[in-house]
Structure 1
């Protein structure tokens, strides 16, 4: 199959497929007489594997390690559990950060009820301008 068919079948952008080839994640396909890439079922399966790992937000280096293990389980010492635990730690750290961000935005949002009279400043904008001037704001505690 050609690259556009592979892209459609996997939902992966053509430029991303080419990037994965350059990075060695996806082996180079055979070429047809006209020079077009000719991807096989194995490419589709490997690209689907990569896409699934990336959907789990795994770094490409970890995906590369996992692929090495898939390709040669005896020759690679990859602790898959450890890789997943590390990814889980990264996700948990981001969740903690996102909860803190949510709290900050809620504090900022509480400064405005959405109704402003003529010339009445928006509490959110007032807070953001204050923060831009280095002053304490509702979303960041004074230090």
Structure 2
């Protein structure tokens, strides 16, 4: 069983997850921790939220959130990562769904992201479409919003 919940503080065990990400060449969780400590990004604005996924034993399996997009009038998916042994079990999709539900509730007309090439297929499977923009690789729009 996996539980996805909104969090308002960085998990105490984020370093372990960040180490797994770094071992794969992904630095986004190190950036998350540095920005949090510096106070430059804490997912604290009303339309922003950070989510964590844990298994039944409380092990942190993944993390991700949504923030204001600094380059467009949209929200932005940020800092998504699921540890390798937990992949393929719907955890990433559950994190994305939680973030998108939050974004919809906040009235967002569009959500964008910048994905590494290896993650493009995942994001497209979540409904995002490639976009031609130097600041984002994918976007998702809700008709009638904005």
After TM superposition, the score normalised by the length of structure 1 is: 0.25
After TM superposition, the score normalised by the length of structure 2 is: 0.24
Structure of higher CA gyration radius = 1
Q: Flag the structure with higher helix content.
A: 1
Q: Flag the structure with higher strand content.
A: 2
Say which structure, 1 or 2, has more relative contact order (CA 8 Å, 6+ apart).
2
